[in-house]
Structure 1
Amino acid sequence: MLRVHFTAEDFARIRFAPRPAPLQELHAALATAVTQRGGPLFAPWRGRMMRSLPAASSPLADLVPAGRPPSFLDVIGDTMADGFEQIRATNPGLVRAELERVYGAVPVPRWIRGLHAGDETAWRTLHRAQQAAFETVLAPVWSVVQDLHHEEFTRYALTVAEHGVAATLTRLAPGSRLHEGVWEWPGAAPDRDVRLDGRGLVLLPTFHHPAGPLLQDAPGHPAVLTYPAGPGCPPTAGGPVVSAEALAAILGRTRLDALRLLAEPHTTTSLARALHVSNATASSHAAALRSAGMATTTRAGRSVTHQRTALGTLVAGAGLDPPHASGSRPPSASAWARRSAKRA
């Protein structure tokens, strides 16, 4: 069982990673392939992946003898290059200690000995292996992973707004429970207690690791908990993706239209007119978006103005058409999807 111990300060420092982390997702995928997790749903994907991995990626297997990867590989970076820079910046003492931990008495490959000694050629070997594996395993489906992450981000934000942090955490992990400040994950191996002690927690969904959490607990940094999410099978280039229809199913179609319109300031009256709803309904949608942190409301005399926040912009998506002028009804979600497809 995994037990994550929170203080009051830690609850205030929980955050959701705004974007997927390429290296974390890659390591989750490789761990799933090696450990045979996922059952029959993952079997065809595993076979294709193992057959297609290039020879340049083979050094990665040397890093996980007995399936125990060194902790310095677990980083959150927006790009592969950023992730590798974080790995390369790891304290040399930690690199040596982790390599010694995972190898123990196992014979050590020559390039791993070079990594242990800080040899630059060995680091380049690791970089090339990670890049080669990413290009084969994740690059063809990375846009799908981004869409799935976007959907999970939206679901998390709305659930926190409606039910609070405690209920949201347990919903992320069916079967887990939060009791007296301890989040318990039954069945997670090995048995482990992690004390946050004010460092906070970053939540990062993965779509290639079907069973159990992966927790990075580096001293002096927020803990990072990578948890299984998505449809329950590996993403493919043809889908599933988070479409405009899927986002509308989470937010509600009218509320999604409202969120898109609020890219520009709107009074309650102008928002109601654009949505073709009553002022009371428009005000209710704005309040729901505001409680989720996706919109702000400012008052000037008897008038109030609503506008999207940075979180709202992230949830709405960066590649969407700008909202239509007040007085015209926004296009339907399916129309948004068709226009996006045409632009692509």
Structure 2
Amino acid sequence: MIRIRLTADDLAGIRFAPRPAPLLELNTAFLMMGRPDGGLLFGAWRRRLARSLPATVRPLADLVPAGVAPAFLDVFDDSLAAALDRPRTWRRELVRAELERVYARAPATTPVPTWIRELHRGDADAWRVLRRGQRAAFEAAVRPVWGVVQDLHQAEFTRYAVSVAERGIGGALGGLVAGARLRGQVWELDAPVEQQVDVAGRGLVLMPTFHWTGHPLVCDLPALPDLPVVVTYPAGPGTPLPPDGAGVAGRGGRGGDGRAGLAEVLGRTRFELLFLLADAYTTSDLARRLGVSNATASAHTAALRGAGLITTVRAGRSVLHQRTALGDLLVRRQEPGTTRQA
């Protein structure tokens, strides 16, 4: 069981990562490679990925001699370039401590590769080995499906925002994954490990991942108090994801109907309402356009407003609704020809 203690301020300050993290998806893809389950399709994906990884990736295996990775590989930057540079920002003594921790779990006869010894000393060439390996692994394992990951993250972002608007933060946390519940100021997550986390004002970030299908993963680094606690949870179908533009109908990918994907997340009426609100409409205008009652239109605008997707201002005796910048971003990301970047 994972138990995360949250003060009232911690609860109020919970953030949802606005974009996916390239190296997080890489790490969870590698975690999935090590799982024995998944059936024939998963086994074929695992073999195909293993064959496609270049030689520059092989040193990464030296960082997990006993199946446990050093914490400096937990990187949540949404820019690949920034993510690749992040481990070098760790203090040297913390990097050494993490390398010693993971090798202490390995059998005593496990050899320590030269480049790991050099990394322990802070050698610049060793850091370059790590960076080259991570970049090559991302290009082989994640880049082909990165557009799908971005679409899935966008849909999950919207689903969570609507859930908070409708159910409050407690209800949204309780429904985030199966087995999650908020008991007073303790958020409990079902997991086969025992972990106690006290957020203590550091902030908490929710990060969905789409390669991993196991229990939630919590990155808690008290030695780095400037970093928030990050809860990574499985939100997608798991691997193998289809390549970008291939068979992603209903997810917003280039190969499918992105509007269908957004409609699935928001619900058909809210989806139509959001697309209408490129221009300002009153509640009565929306009700007439959508063929619903004023009360129904008002309830839908309240949910979208609570999610930050529309804004409402008074104009005389009426109110006018219109999309916010976030709402515009979601709509633009669904339209054909939208490009994405890592």
> Shorter-normalised TM-score: what interval?
0.7 to 0.9
State the one-letter code of the partner of 1:158. V
What residue in structure 2 maps to residue 227 of structure 1?
Answer: 233
Mapped partners of 1:239, 1:21: distance in 2: 23
Structure 1 residues 47 and 343: CA distance shift in structure 2, 3 A: closer
Q: How does 1:49-88 map to 2 (within 5 A)?
A: 49-88=49-88
CA RMSD of aligned residues (A): 2.4
What residue in structure 1 maps to residue 205 of structure 2?
Answer: 202
Count matched residues.
Answer: 324
Matched, 1:171 2:162: no
Contact in 2 for aligned 1:152/1:229 (Cα 8 Å): yes
SS of the equivalent of 2:175 reads helix
- TM-score (norm: length of structure 1): 0.86
Structure 1 residues 64 and 239: CA distance shift in structure 2, 3 A: farther
Report the Cα offset of residue 235 of structure 1.
0.9
Mapped partners of 1:342, 1:65: distance in 2: 42
Percentage of pairs with the same residue: 55
What residue in structure 2 maps to residue 36 of structure 1?
Answer: 36
Deviations 1:280-313 (A, max 9, x none): 5544432221122211111132242222223323
State the one-letter code of the partner of 1:213. P
Contact in 2 for aligned 1:38/1:211 (Cα 8 Å): no
Residue from 140, 145, 152 that aligns with 2:144: 140
Deviations 1:39-85 (A, max 9, x none): 55532221211121111111111111111101111121122111112
Matched, 1:239 2:256: no
Report the Cα offset of residue 318 of structure 1.
3.1
Report the Cα offset of residue 343 of structure 1.
10
- TM-score (norm: length of structure 2): 0.86
Matched, 1:119 2:123: yes
State the one-letter code of the partner of 1:201. L
Contact in 2 for aligned 1:256/1:316 (Cα 8 Å): no
What residue in structure 2 maps to residue 217 of structure 1?
Answer: 220
Report the Cα offset of residue 138 of structure 1.
0.6
Listed as ranges, the gaps of 5+ residues in structure 1 are 321-339
Contact in 2 for aligned 1:56/1:132 (Cα 8 Å): yes
Mapped partners of 1:343, 1:210: distance in 2: 28
Residue from 265, 268, 282 that aligns with 1:250: 265
Contact in 2 for aligned 1:207/1:234 (Cα 8 Å): no
Bigger mean CA deviation after superposition, 268-277 or 25-34: 268-277
Deviations 1:115-139 (A, max 9, x none): 1111111111111101111111011
